[in-house]
């Protein structure tokens, strides 16, 4: 029987994201207890959240404080056997769209101060070959503006229960943009939100680059606990299979 590697790829720590309420080590313990192989920490990174870290004019200090939640999670993950990778949920000044950015590390952050001060077009132009850029909850709370030319993927299902995510609209968008990589995430902030969705990877992942490679290869399956959202993910899987089916 094939081995799958279960990850949640969208969550926030209390140490870094001030809307987060679960300490990083506690977050890891919850996913360990639920049988996950790994998690990806995607703390918020934009002007408002940086101002809440009280380091606004000192980027190196901002990086230190941004990494606090991730490093605490990584330490606990190493102790209990859960892989913990770093990413970020980035927002540009243009609007309130959020982008999950996979492939960054501490060196990247220190070399690119205040990346959220770019626009999405410039950011994608500069980093499209190095990073995986996924629009988070694209239709949340009535949003309708998506820069299709600035993303690699779409968070088709977001299971955060405190927002109107309109995941059905994301599915309809994916029908017309099926070249994008569909993903899902719990967007965990508080107790009761963790372990609600997963990405099952078909190959071992040692680092964030392995995760990106698996996504680009389509070597993954999506799932979640909510029955309505699971039906959306089943339709996404059908569309993916149709897209990849050989033609005569």
pLDDT in tens, 62-116: 999 999 999 999 999 999 999 999 999 999 998 999 999 999 999 999 999 999 9
Pairwise CA distance, residues 76 & 70, whole Å: 10
- 145 pLDDT band (50/70/90 cuts)? confident
Residue 245 predicted with pLDDT over 60: no
pLDDT at 54: 86
Mean local confidence (pLDDT), 136-143: 90
Pairwise CA distance, residues 164 & 180, whole Å: 23
Percent of the chain with pLDDT over 70: 97
pLDDT in tens, 194-208: 999 999 999 999 999
Mean local confidence (pLDDT), 6-13: 98
Residue 247 predicted with pLDDT over 60: no
- From 19-28, 172-181, 189-198, 236-245, the region with the lowest mean pLDDT: 236-245
5-242 topology per CATH:
TIM Barrel (3.20.20)
Token pair of 36 as six digits: 């996950």
Strand partners, 8: 39
Mean local confidence (pLDDT), 48-68: 91
Token pair of 79 as six digits: 């102790």
Mean local confidence (pLDDT), 14-22: 95
Pairwise CA distance, residues 237 & 248, whole Å: 22
Percent of the chain with pLDDT over 90: 88
Pairwise CA distance, residues 111 & 77, whole Å: 26
CA 92 to chain centre: 16
Note the helical H segments in the chain: 24-33, 47-52, 59-80, 106-111, 120-127, 167-176, 208-216, 227-244
pLDDT at 244: 66
- From 19-28, 126-135, 136-145, 178-187, the region with the lowest mean pLDDT: 136-145
Q: What is the mean pLDDT of the chain?
A: 94
- 248 pLDDT band (50/70/90 cuts)? very low
Hey, is 201 helix, strand or coil? Answer: strand
Residue 155 predicted with pLDDT over 50: yes
pLDDT at 215: 98
Cα-Cα-Cα-Cα dihedral of 165, 46, 43, 230, to 10°? 20
Pairwise CA distance, residues 50 & 203, whole Å: 35
Residue 162 predicted with pLDDT over 70: yes
Residue 246 predicted with pLDDT over 80: no
Q: Which of 38, 87, 76, 61 is nearest to 203 (CA)?
A: 38
């Amino acid at each position: 029987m094939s081995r799958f590697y279960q990850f949640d790829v969208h969550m926030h720590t209390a140490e870094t994201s001030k809307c987060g309420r679960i300490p990083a080590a506690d977050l890891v313990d919850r996913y360990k207890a639920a049988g996950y192989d790994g998690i990806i920490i995607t703390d918020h990174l934009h002007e408002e959240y940086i101002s809440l870290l009280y380091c606004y004019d000192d980027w190196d200090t901002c990086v230190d404080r941004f990494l606090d939640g991730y490093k605490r999670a990584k330490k606990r993950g190493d102790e209990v056997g859960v892989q913990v990778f770093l990413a970020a949920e980035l927002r540009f000044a243009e609007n309130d769209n959020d982008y999950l950015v996979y492939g960054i590390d501490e060196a990247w952050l220190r070399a690119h101060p205040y990346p959220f001060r770019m626009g999405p077009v410039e950011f994608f132009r500069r980093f499209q070959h190095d990073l995986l850029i996924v629009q988070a909850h694209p239709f949340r709370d009535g949003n309708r503006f998506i820069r299709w030319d600035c993303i690699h993927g779409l968070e088709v299902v977001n299971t955060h229960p405190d927002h109107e995510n309109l995941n059905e609209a994301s599915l309809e968008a994916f029908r017309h943009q099926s070249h994008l990589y569909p993903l899902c995430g719990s967007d965990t902030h508080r107790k009761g939100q963790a372990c609600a969705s997963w990405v099952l990877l078909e190959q071992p992942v040692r680092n964030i680059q392995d995760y990106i490679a698996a996504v680009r290869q389509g070597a993954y399956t999506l799932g979640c606990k909510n029955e309505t959202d699971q039906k959306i993910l089943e339709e996404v899987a059908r569309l993916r299979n149709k897209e990849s089916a050989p033609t005569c």
